[in-house]
Amino acid sequence: MIRLTHVTKEYARTGRALDDVSLHVAKGEFVFLTGPSGSGKSTLLKLIFMEERPTLGEVRVSGINSATLHRGDVAQLRRKLGVVFQDFRLLDDRTAHANVAFALEVTGAAEPSVPAKVSRLLMQVGLASKGLAYPQELSGGEQQRVAIARALVNDPFVLIADEPTGNLDDRATRGVFQLLREINAAGTAVVMATHNLELLRRSEYRTIDMLHGRIVSDTADPSAAERAAARIVEDDETARFPGDAGPKGQTSAAARSRTTA
């Protein structure tokens, strides 16, 4: 369903954001992406919903290949997956109902079917009575629920969530996470980037730990930790030569401590 094969992503100004990442997410899976800021979580998610293309390697999502991607494919892909962000990204001049409906309308959905579907989704996310509210009239948790409803409106096979609870208090965080669990239980895969250790501790889902653009552990793939450790040794070897020390050496040390923990 989602497969990244030896993906490297480099930015002209900030350098390497992802370094030889390989990953497979199966249908209906719930995957946590975790790691400190700058570890490459958001870049990895952007590659999945094709906002970015890899510098090296290949990303395949629902049959769409980043190597042969056309601009028109991106719109088609995004209708098949839902995306939510920490900052909600709602249209401020539209009601909650209109925000959700908009995602359906852009696909050319038959007009008569739109209101009923939107109402059903708002009910699903617990906002049945808030359809006519504008984003600024809603709490952070409620806004995120609207964003989730919008992401679900086209029945996606996967929901990509980039720090969806990052702006929420504990109670709202628990509510949103519970909603994501329910969505996943209904068959939609969820790939969620988070810093929230409490959520990770409480859940039994697959967790991928990232550091400096690399996967340093994956609960579904114990060999990932071994591969990471092997690369750390390689990096250390390289760091012995003058001019190669510095950030890479630091990366290795940090990564080793994490992988061996």
Contact residues for other proteins (CB under 8 A)? 49, 51, 71-72, 74-79, 83, 89-91, 93-94, 102-103, 105-107, 150, 154
The pair of structure tokens assigned to 157 is 């096979």
Nearer to other proteins, 120 or 202 (CB): 120
Q: What are phi and psi of 260, to 5 degrees?
A: -85, -10
Bridge partners, residue 189, by sequence = 158
Q: Of 113, 112, 184, whose CA–CA distance to 148 is shortest?
A: 184
Quick one: 108 or 243, whose CB is closer to other proteins? 108
Name the token pair of 123: 């009910």
Q: Which H or E element spans position 30? A: strand 30-34
Exposed e or buried b for every residue in 5-25, given b needs 16+ CB within 10 A?
Answer: bebebeeeeeebbbbbbbbeb
Q: Closest distance between other proteins and the C-beta of residue 13, in Å?
A: 15
Residue 175 phi/psi, 5-degree rounding, is -65, -45
Query: Token pair for residue 9?
Result: 């992503």
Name the residue nearer to other proteins (CB basis): 127 or 216: 127
Min CB(64)–other proteins separation in Å: 13
In angstroms, what is the minimal distance from the CB of 91 to other proteins? 6
Residue 172 one-letter amino acid: A
Closest approach of Cβ 102 to other proteins, in Å?
A: 7
**Least spacing, CB of residue 234 vs other proteins, in Å:** 37
**Nearer Cβ to other proteins, position 56 or 91?**
91
- Cβ closest to other proteins, residue 51 vs residue 182: 51
Alpha helices in the chain (DSSP H): 41-48, 71-78, 96-105, 114-124, 140-152, 170-185, 197-202, 223-239, 247-259
Residue closer to other proteins by CB (options 75, 245) is 75
Shortest Å, Cβ 209 to other proteins: 27
